[in-house]
Amino acid sequence: MIEVLLVDDEEMVREGFRMILETAPDIHVAAEAADGREALRQAESLRPDVVLMDIRMPNLDGLEGTKRIVAAGLARVLVLTTFDNDEYVYEALKSGASGFMLKSAPRDQLIGAVRVVARGEQLLAPAITRRLIEEFVRRPPPGVTKPRELDELSDRELDVFRLVGRGRSNDEISKQLFISEATVKTHMGRIFSKLGVRDRAQAVVVAYESGLVRAGGAE
């Protein structure tokens, strides 16, 4: 059973998500929280599998809440966003979120997203990922330079890394580079290790910040 902690400052929103999630036989909403501070307390107490985290909340927002929960190893975090208004998704990925979902997403996508994150995978839907990150990183932040660690990547690892930055799945990378998915996974493990990133989400951030992948660039 996948244990979920729902975090949103609007009670009606939490009730709606609870109703959707509990239609799935393998998902149980263990608790709810109205802000990041309460979410942190609940996560410490319950150790849920997934925290479904809103960003804009009082006291402690979802961005800082995500950072603290992930840093403490309490749970994996799936961020909720309205997309058009939420400029913090990029920072949420940097903070260690395993992915994000639009609040307007169909119920089957929400349930599927929770399952993906619970399995320890990153939820980075290619189209949405590209649009979001391109919106907020059209220019690298001031002071950001190319990480020295990029020089340690082999040519093939750079090829894989670029495609990861563009939101490609392992299957898509495999087909585009004419290598097996197992080989892609091997390259991914080496890339994560050399760059010192936890997961695919953080790898995407590094790809954009370093300039290796340009927003709006050729595919």
Domains, the chain, ordered by start: 2-123 (3.40.50.2300), 148-209 (1.10.10.10)
Q: Tens digits of per-residue pLDDT, 173-183?
A: 999 999 999 99
- Distance of CA 21 to CAs 24, 70, 106, 180, Å? 6, 22, 11, 35
> pTM here?
0.71
- Give residue 137's pLDDT band: very low, low, confident or very high (50, 70, 90): low
Distance, in Å, from the CA atom of 87 to the CA atom of 27, rounded to the nearest integer, reads: 29
Q: Tens digits of per-residue pLDDT, 98-127?
A: 888 888 888 998 999 999 899 887 776 555
CA neighbor of 40 nearest in space, from 14, 17, 12, 60? 60
DSSP letter at 107 equals H
Q: Which two tokens stand for residue 74?
A: 């309490």
In angstroms, how far is the first alpha carbon of the chain from the final one?
A: 39
Distance, in Å, from the CA atom of 108 to the CA atom of 96, rounded to the nearest integer, reads: 24
Sign of the torsion formed by the C-alpha atoms of 118, 9, 86 and 93 = negative
